[in-house]
Structure 1
Amino acid sequence: MAEVHVRELKGPEEMEAVVELQREVWGRAESDLVPRGLLIAVQDEGGLVAGAFVEGRMVGFVFGFPTQDPTLQHSHMLGVLEPYRGTGAALLLKRFQRDWCLARGIQRVVWTFDPLRGPNANFNLRKLGATARTYLPDHYGPMTGINAGAPSDRLLAEWDLLAERVYARIYAPPPDPEVAGLPQANRVEGEEPLEAYLDLEAPRLLFQIPEDWGRILREDPALALAWREHSRLVLGHYFARGYRAVDFARNPNRYVLAKD
């Protein structure tokens, strides 16, 4: 695979390419796309729109905008075309975003992600060093494309750009979390969430999610809704008790929750 280069985007043609990437990455309806004009306007007012390129082709992008807090950016979208996932393009986009923000006095970045998509949770928590402590039920309302089929619950990722943990993880492969012996806040059999354990007191807990949430969304609406309700119950409960998601383990997919 050829080398990936990241840079800020400029001009209507490159912004239109971002709109097309949104269609390809998420399969969104036109009403769910961030249009070219808005991308340009947000960039004019201090937002970030950057692209990842391979041999001159844009294969991914990141889009973030300013907030009421001048030290905080909201990162609304990060997308990479499927053939280029695993090339490091997403990580390079986030490194670029971190450097760009720090150069402008921005010290924290937040974004939302689906709590049941294991690859996203793994990337955000384990590879980037973000954490999450806020559960947002049906945050965007009904969605289209790959996100259709269940309420749009989201976690709010918090990325402390000055944290040693963040720097270490984005520039070196992070170790697998130590999870042996940790109590688990739910019981899963096959693909079904069967029980929630809401009385655990350990400083670190596990919460298991599906192995292939995308397939469940496409093929089993009843199971998708059951998982949404289950994650809303368990994660919402433990976040309210002072836990936050701090890491992610694979095989099976499990959040590591730690008490502040």
Structure 2
Amino acid sequence: MERVRVRELRGPAEMEEVVALQEAIWGRDARDLVPRGLLIAVQDEGGLVAGAFVEGGLVGFVFGFPTRDPSLQHSHMLGVLEPYRGTGAALLLKRFQRDWCLARGIRKVVWTFDPLRGANANFNLRKLGATAKTYLPDHYGPMSGINAGAPSDRLLAEWDLLSQRVYTRIYAPPPEPEATGLPLANRVEDEVPLEAHLDLEAPRLLFQIPEDWGRILREDPELALRWREHSRLVLGHYFARGYRAVDFARHPNRYVLAQD
């Protein structure tokens, strides 16, 4: 695979390419796209719009903007075209974002992600070292494209840029966490959530999610809604009790929750 290069984007033509990427990556309707003019305006006021290039072509981007706290950035979108996933483009975009923020006195970045998409949870928690303790039910309202079909529940990822955990993970991601023996906060069979265990007291516990949330969302609306309600119940309950999502294991897809 050709080398991936990351740099800030500039000008109307490159911002229009970012709009096209939003459509290609997420299949969004026009109403859900961040338009070219807004990307330019946010960048003018201190936001970040950076792109990943392969052989001169734009294959991914990250978009973040300032918040009321000068030391905090909200990272609204990170996306990479499907053929270039697994190339390291997403990780390079986040490394670039970290360096860019630290150079400007920004010490923390937050963003939202779907709690039922295992690949995203694995990337955010295990590879980047972010954590999450806030559950946002139906945060964006009805959505289009690949997110259509269920309430837009999200977790709020918190990325502490100066922590040793973050630095270590973005340059040398550890193996998957050892989950043997940890109690399960739910019971799942054949991709169906059957039971929630809300009385656990262990310092670390697991919460299982589907192996293929995208397929469920496309093919089984009733099951998709059941999963939304289930994750809202279990994660919301344990977050309220002081737990935080700190890691992720694959196949089966399971969050590692730990008490703060």
The match for 1:174 is: 174
SS of 2:116's partner is coil
The match for 2:109 is: 109
State the 1:173 CA deviation: 2.6
SS of 1:182's partner is coil
Residues 82-93 of structure 1 mapped to structure 2, 5 A cutoff? 82-93=82-93
| 1:94-124 C-alpha deviation (Å, 9 max, x unpaired) | 0000000000000000000000000000000
| 1:119-144 C-alpha deviation (Å, 9 max, x unpaired) | 00000000000000000000000000
The one-letter amino acid of 1:168's match is T
The match for 1:233 is: 233
State the 1:168 CA deviation: 0.3
| 1:13-35 C-alpha deviation (Å, 9 max, x unpaired) | 00000000000000000000000
Q: TM-score, normalised by structure 1?
A: 1.00
The match for 2:57 is: 57
SS of 1:115's partner is coil
The match for 1:12 is: 12
**% identical aligned pairs:** 86
Matched, 1:126 2:126: yes
Q: What runs of 5+ residues in structure 1 fail to find an aligned partner?
A: none
State the 1:178 CA deviation: 1.4
Q: Aligned partners of 1:131 and 1:36: how far apart in 2? A: 31
Measured on the aligned residues, the alpha-carbon RMSD in Å equals: 0.3
The match for 2:188 is: 188
SS of 2:126's partner is helix
The one-letter amino acid of 2:76's match is H
State the 1:174 CA deviation: 1.6
The one-letter amino acid of 2:109's match is V
The one-letter amino acid of 2:199's match is D
The match for 2:46 is: 46
Residues 56-75 of structure 1 mapped to structure 2, 5 A cutoff? 56-75=56-75
Higher mean C-alpha displacement, 168-177 vs 148-157:
168-177
SS of 1:227's partner is helix
Matched, 1:210 2:210: yes
State the 1:251 CA deviation: 1.1
The match for 1:147 is: 147
SS of 1:31's partner is helix
Q: Aligned partners of 1:235 and 1:206: how far apart in 2? A: 10
The match for 1:156 is: 156
Given that 2:176 and 2:249 are in contact with CA atoms closer than 8 Å, whether structure 1 keeps it comes out as: yes
The one-letter amino acid of 1:75's match is S
State the 1:175 CA deviation: 2.0
Q: Aligned partners of 1:75 and 1:181: how far apart in 2? A: 35
The one-letter amino acid of 1:42's match is V
Q: Aligned partners of 2:159 and 2:184: how far apart in 1? A: 25
Structure 1 stretches (4+) deviating beyond 2 angstroms?
none
Q: What runs of 5+ residues in structure 2 fail to find an aligned partner?
A: none
SS of 1:198's partner is coil
Given that 2:126 and 2:173 are in contact with CA atoms closer than 8 Å, whether structure 1 keeps it comes out as: no
Q: Aligned partners of 1:224 and 1:145: how far apart in 2? A: 15
Q: Aligned partners of 1:148 and 1:165: how far apart in 2? A: 34
